[in-house]
Amino acid sequence: MDATRKPPSLRTLSLRVAVVIAVIVGAAGAVYLVWCDGAEQCEVETKVLAEARTLNKQMTAAWDYIDDAQTAINTDKDGSYDFKNVYCAVAGKGIARRFTQTSDGYVIRYVRENPRTGTDAPDGFEQRALNHFTVGGSTEYYEMSETNGAPVLRYSSVLTVRNNCLECHGGPAGEKDVTGFIKEGMEIGDVAGAVSMVIPMGSYVREAAADKVRSVAFFVLLALTIAVSLSLVLRRWVAVPLEAANEQLASENEEQSNFLALMSHELRTPLSSIIAFTDIWEKSDRVRDAEEERLVGKIKESSSVLLAMVNNTIDVARLEAGRLSLQIDEVDLVDVIGAVFAVADPLALQQGVALSKSVDPAIPVMRTDGEALRKVVLNLVSNALKFTEPGGSVAVAAQLDPAENRVRLVVADTGCGIAPEDAVRIFEKFARAAPYEGCGGTPGSGLGLYLVKGLVERLGGEVSVASTVGEGSVFTAIVPLVVGEEGREDDGEDSACR
């Protein structure tokens, strides 16, 4: 856990949950509203179309009644034929005209191609309907339209020639029928015309809008009820336990920091004392045999290794806990590498490894954390020496990249190298490369390179490795010349104990 990120408070968590719920409810409401609009339009069309079909059946029934009663109407009591000028078309048009006059917004009329009177001439919609019927389409045709800005349904139903129609519209074509009009020579089943209706939709639209308002209000009420219930449940069963867990983690983190401080004083100080005592012993004038010198040398070497491991462990823990602050100052890279070589030279000499350094003189004084930079170079050099056999070499180079205002630190060795599958994870915590035949390196704790990566990234840089098994490795750390002074506050530990 990164201690620099303060766990969210219960109020913050509740606010986040409320925002998420609000977004979900808003998105669901928008989808529901779109669905309601579509459903409303579909419902209005269904209802008004049903009314048009019902009205059409009524008009057809009146037409059929007059058609069926033609013989009775035109036959006197004595059985003689006397045309009364009352037939289906006249009756249908009369009923349609009266209905139109007494109904608000409704219009019913009969139309046909080549009309016998001007009142039968079709408009644009009616002509499309007649064309539809003529080519053998369905027996009805309709469109949603507007009249005087109000929504209406334009509906039309086909009228076909039946047996009784032939007296006026059959053959022979060109002769006059009993009404005085010219016969068209039609046959049974031909399209004689169409009944045309205009059905106002205003009442249906208003009813559907009212239904939509009620539906949306119910949805909003339901959504708010669910949101409040969910918020209370999350607060009771998630947020409150999570806040308690965060408090426990914060307490454990404080205990960890205290433990690190204890390690700093209780482990590093004795180890430093052991190394100091061995230095005093080595510089004394007392005569001692070779075995005694070997044993004391081993004590010093083991103590130095253990001290390095303790230092890395503590630095890693402090880095992860956010308590390893940057101390930005003016730093001469030559001094940093010199301090590393003061420690690494004796180790290289003892192992029979050639250790060299090269610093680009063009590198200016850097604005960075010198101690962090020293730990980076020291860990890379120590790692290279550990896995380089006697007779091999380790070279440290510092190069200036003026275009990017950064420095490239390269540590190259002729050691046993790293396999590709290990190279991709070598900077992970506790990751160690597998031992290879002929490689005499002593496995470490797996924290050195992890610490290097963490420190380099804290300095605003990056680290990488290129390696070939049996030939050696090249570690490259790229750091900026100037690091922003964002260093966190230190934990108050005496830097002299480092």
> How confident is the model at residue 492, as a pLDDT?
39
Nearest CA to 372 out of 261, 488, 268 is that of 488
> How confident is the model at residue 373, as a pLDDT?
94
> How confident is the model at residue 53, as a pLDDT?
92
- Could you tell me where the DSSP H helices lie in 142-201? 166-169
> How confident is the model at residue 11, as a pLDDT?
67
Domain ranges of the chain: 69-200, 324-497
Measure the CA–CA gap between 9 and 146, rounded to whole angstroms.
59
Asked whether the bond before 361 is cis by omega within 30 degrees of 0, the reply is no
Measure the CA–CA gap between 65 and 421, rounded to whole angstroms.
95
Reported residue count of the chain is: 498
CATH architecture of 324-497: 2-Layer Sandwich (3.30)
Mean pLDDT by 10 residues, the chain (498 residues): 51 72 78 78 88 90 80 78 73 86 90 82 92 87 89 92 78 80 82 91 85 81 81 73 74 68 65 76 76 78 70 69 78 94 88 94 93 92 90 95 90 90 81 57 68 90 92 94 59 37
> How confident is the model at residue 497, as a pLDDT?
33
Residue pair 49/144 in contact by the 8 Å Cβ criterion: no
Q: How many CB atoms are located within 10 Å of the residue 338 CB?
A: 13
324-497 shares the fold of 69-200 = no
Query: How does DSSP classify residue 191?
Result: E
Locate tokens 């491991």: which residue? 309
Q: Is 49 exposed, middle or buried (0-12, 13-18, 19+ CB in 10 A)?
A: middle
CATH top-level class for 69-200? alpha beta
Helix (H) or strand (E) holding 480: strand 472-480
- The residue type found at 417 is G
